[in-house]
Amino acid sequence: MTIRVLHVASELYPLLKTGGLADVTAALPVALIEQGADARVLLPGFASVAAGLADLRPVARLARTFGAPEASLELGHLPGNGLPVYMIRADALYARPGSPYLDADQVPYGDNAQRFALLGSAAAQLAQHADPDWTPAIVHAHDWHAGLAPAYLRAAARERRLAGTRTVFTIHNLAYQGIFPAQQFDMLGLPADFFDMHGVEFYGQLSFLKAGLYFADKITTVSPTYAREIQTVAQGCGLEALLKGRAHDLVGILNGVDYAIWNPAHDDAIAAHYSAAHMSGKPRCKTALQARLKLAQRQDAPVFAVVSRLTEQKGLDLLLGAVPEIVSRGGQLAVLGTGDASLEQGFTRAARQHPDAVAVELGFDETLAHSIVAGADVMVVPSRFEPCGLTQLYALAYGALPLVHRVGGLADTVADASLENLADGLATGFVFERFEPDALAAAIRRAFALYARSHDWRATRERGMHQDFGWAASAQRYMSLYRELA
């Protein structure tokens, strides 16, 4: 039996990307199709989504519009791979320039509750045969934006309007919870008793994320270590008791890498192609990166790099304090990202003080991101917490050794270049235990020490490039979960 799976999310690469969620929703459904599933995606009709989908055609009018004059479902596909995508056409809610979540002043839109309630409601309507030609057996909702989908499905099941559709909710980052004032609950059209501690209520407010956690049949998150961490007070974000209570329904499945996009052997965004067996292109990528960022053209200077949101969650306040450690030892630092004003200013100031050794590009540029990973010697991911992390996986594939804090998916994917691990042929990067300046500084010193031992550096780099974090293994685990439910 072919399992029909509907992935519900707010982003899909290459149509719309603000973070790693878009990479996952682009790659996972395709990997599931390769395993024999019939997978489709449901997205809000943001401007870039409406412009980027091919062959859009109307499927159904939606019964609830959440304040939009009208709302309908359309079906198209992703150019390139043909992935079927449903889009919610509700221009009053979605057709806005700029960020899908924030207005021009970087403030969340005042009607975000309505905009993402419609996403959850549309998923439930698809499960109730809104498209007469295709009905999912599994609705797989991603992050808070899609958190109400399991709640609407539970309400429909209770009213006997629905039988058989099961739900999976994936936490990509527990810190983003979709919290709204309690007064907005009535607008959702959910049963009154759903606004309860055992439901969508969260400290007197309304939490879309909690709705997903409470009402989904199964919960997944994006690495085994993070699945354990979020059941603790330190990383549970106030939801640890709920998650601990549902521990038997909670599973950590590591995110994968789409090697069709992230592969230095055929990446057109980088200066020269290379592979673990033929590394001559890697130094050329480094030289091109140094030229692009106006850094001193030195092959002997290890390039440390960051491609990230510039936030404290990502540990970049810790890295900012370590810039003198990198520069004084003859290293260079390349930073690409945007985020907290204080961090943007801090890194910009460091670049002014050390123009030959520190370069900062504020914003996000997918092509430059590939160039940085290809040109870097070390990718720094010092996150306070990290559900999975994709940057360190891209870094391994491109022969840039990851330097990471031992949390979440970082702990699951990088083996420290300790003497034992080097001797046993296990090392793939640098891992620090405590989230403290001296622990990061020690890891940076270990990176310089290994860089000076070129034979060991090359062996570690080659081992990292041979790691396989493709989607096939993760897709198999999701398929097992779907079969268990279906």
Report which secondary-structure segment, H or E, holds 361.
strand 358-362
**Residue 225, token pair as written in the block:** 């270590």
Question: What pLDDT sits at residue 161?
Answer: 67
Q: Please provide the size of the chain in residues.
A: 486
> What is the mean predicted confidence (pLDDT) over 404-433?
96
**Architecture in CATH for domain 4-256+471-485:** 3-Layer(aba) Sandwich (3.40)
pLDDT of residue 394: 96
Label the pairing between strands 250-252 and 303-307.
Answer: unpaired
**Residue 162 confidence (pLDDT):** 65
Q: State the average pLDDT over residues 465-470.
A: 96
Instruction: Report residue 447: phi and psi, to 5°.
Output: -65, -45
What is the mean pLDDT of the segment spanning 195-213?
Answer: 97
Whether residue 364 is predicted with pLDDT greater than 90 in this model: the reply is: no
Closest CA to 40 of 138, 122, 172: 138
Residue 104 has pLDDT above 90, yes or no: no
Positive or negative: CA dihedral 15, 11, 307, 398:
negative
Q: Six-digit token pair at 38?
A: 């019939």
Q: How confident is the model at residue 160 (pLDDT cuts 50, 70, 90)?
A: confident
pLDDT band at 203 (very low <50, low <70, confident <90, very high): very high
pLDDT of 27 reads 93
Quick one: tokens of 10?
Answer: 């707010």
Residue range(s) of every CATH 3.40.50.2000 domain in the chain:
4-256+471-485, 281-465
Which pLDDT does position 18 carry in this prediction? 86
When mean pLDDT is compared across 139-148, 162-171, 370-379, the lowest value belongs to 162-171
pLDDT band at residue 163 using 50, 70 and 90 as cut-offs = low
Average pLDDT, the chain: 96
Arch. (CATH architecture) of 281-465: 3-Layer(aba) Sandwich (3.40)
Lowest mean pLDDT among 19-28, 50-59, 233-242, 286-295: 19-28
pLDDT at position 141 over 90: yes
pLDDT in tens, 69-92: 999 999 999 998 999 999 999 999
Q: How confident is the model at residue 97 (pLDDT cuts 50, 70, 90)?
A: confident
Cis omega (within 30 of 0) for bond into 14: yes
Q: What is the mean pLDDT of residues 276-283?
A: 97
Of all residues in the chain, what percent carry a pLDDT higher than 70? 99
Q: Quote the pLDDT of residue 19.
A: 81
Please state, for a pLDDT cut of 90, what percent of the chain lies above it. Answer: 93
Q: How confident is the model at residue 194 (pLDDT cuts 50, 70, 90)?
A: very high
- The whole-angstrom separation of Cα 142 and Cα 313 is 20
